[in-house]
Amino acid sequence: MSRIVYVNGDYLPEGDAKVSVFDRGFLFADGVYEVTSVLNRKLVDFDGHTARLQRSLDALDIKAPVNRDELLQIHRQLVTRNQIEDGLVYLQITRGPADRDFVYPKDATPSLVIFTQSKPGFADSPQARTGWTIITVEDLRWGRRDIKTTQLLYPSMAKMMAKAAGADDAWLVEQGKITEGTSNNAYIVKNGVIITRELSNDILHGITRAAVLRMAVSAQMRIDERPFTPAEAQAADEAFITSASNFVMPVVEIDGEKIGDGTPGPVARRLREIYIDEGRRTAI
Ligand code: PDD
């Protein structure tokens, strides 16, 4: 079955889903995106993703082509039409097609593309039982990582470096401190305290991060928002990442060093369970 993709008001078979070669998303990576997970045909943290989308659009002075309710309606249509039980909805808004110029065009119409990926049963991923291995690589991305732009080439290169090293992902390091993962936020746990870098332009303000930290506070866990080094991470009791596509994923090895006993730790396992339960319960 061919997927149905939403493009600027139309629901099209994926082979017919196209945007212009003059789209600034193609020419300049002049666009933003969001990824929302689907569990049991419902959208997890939809309003968090919509709020961050607006923040990214505002930062780039791109006008949202649809409002929150229309966006929800489109997401739901795609989940239904593509029979997504569990999976992901990817949304991209670009500044739209215009004659090539570094100056933003005054009257371009933003492009909106939304598509789905089916991932049956991904909340029960076997990887969550064994955990991820991580390498660290230099963070060579641009300085506005708080804007969720489609310029994802360096994260993709870093992911390839991880794969080449036989690891699952890379954590990015700037001035000796870990910023975040290629496409996730990074955490360690030491003596019961969850340590994760504070929000700034240096990292993406993860929607899963916000929810997981809220849940950790409710579960009486202690949190310290500050940068940490790769050496500190290697000496931690536990490590994990969060993202819409992996929820809470334990990390069991960093640069060849086992974390704790080399198996997923209790804090990461507990937070994963709470987040997925709560995500299912509050999904819309
Ligand atoms: N990535 N940091 C970066 C650099 C990311 O790309 C992501 C998400 C996150 C986690 O954000 P959230 O919890 O809102 O998903 C942190 C998505 C999943 C992706 O690019 O596929």
Give me the pLDDT at residue 114, please: 98
Pocket test for ligand 1, best of 185, 200, 205, 212 (most atoms within 8 A of CB): 185
The structure tokens 């002075």 sit at 61
* Mean pLDDT within 58-83: 98
Q: How would residue 142 be classed by pLDDT, with cut points 50, 70 and 90?
A: very high
Q: Which residues line ligand 1 (CB under 6 A)?
A: 35, 180, 183-185, 204, 206-209, 242-245
203 neighbors 185 (Cβ within 8 angstroms): yes
Q: Whose CA is nearest to atom 20 of ligand 1?
A: 183
In contact, 49 and 79? CB cutoff 8 Å: no
pLDDT digits (tens, 9 = 90+) for 162-202: 999 999 999 999 999 999 999 999 999 999 999 999 999 99
Q: What is the C-alpha to C-alpha distance for residues 89 and 10, in angstroms, rounded to an integer?
A: 16
**pLDDT for 99 beyond 70:** yes
H or E element in which residue 156 lies? helix 153-164
- Predicted local distance difference test score (pLDDT) of residue 93: 98
Q: Are strands 247-254 and 257-258 parallel, antiparallel or unpaired?
A: antiparallel
Q: What angle do CA 148, 153, 156 make, to 5 degrees?
A: 100
The CA 133 to ligand 1 mean position distance, Å, reads: 18
Ligand 1 atom with minimal separation from the 49 CA: 14
> Measuring from atom 6 of ligand 1, which residue has the nearest CA?
183
Q: What's the gap between Cα 192 and its chain centre?
A: 26
pLDDT at 81: 98
Closest ligand 1 atom, residue 148 Cα:
6
pLDDT above 90 as % of the chain = 99
Predicted TM-score of the model (pTM): 0.97
Calculate how far, in angstroms, residue 36's C-alpha sits from the geometric centre of ligand 1: 10
- Ligand 1 center from residue 262 Cα (angstroms): 25
Nearest to 152 by CA among 35, 38, 230: 35
Residue located nearest, by CA, to atom 5 of ligand 1: 183
CA-atom Rg of the chain in angstroms = 19
Number of helices and strands in the chain (H, E): 8, 15
Residues 266 and 50: their CA atoms lie apart, in Å, by: 31
Please state the rounded mean pLDDT for residues 48-54: 98
CA 157-148-16 angle, to 5 degrees, is 80
- How far from the centroid of its chain's Cα atoms is residue 97's Cα? 26
Q: Which of 152, 173, 204 to mutate to test the pocket of ligand 1 (most atoms within 8 A of CB)?
A: 204
Task: Report the pLDDT value the prediction gives residue 239, as an integer from 0 to 100.
Answer: 98
Nearest CA to ligand 1 atom 2: 184
In the prediction, which pLDDT does 1 show? 64
Query: For residues 32 and 34, what is the distance between their CA atoms, to the nearest angstrom?
Result: 7
Average pLDDT score, the chain? 97
From residue 67, how far is each of 50, 63, 159, 183 by CA, in Å?
9, 10, 34, 26
Q: Looking at the predicted structure, is the pLDDT value of residue 84 above 80?
A: yes
Distance CA 124, CA 139 (A): 31
Comparing CA positions, the residue from 246, 128, 266, 225 lying closest to residue 183 is 246
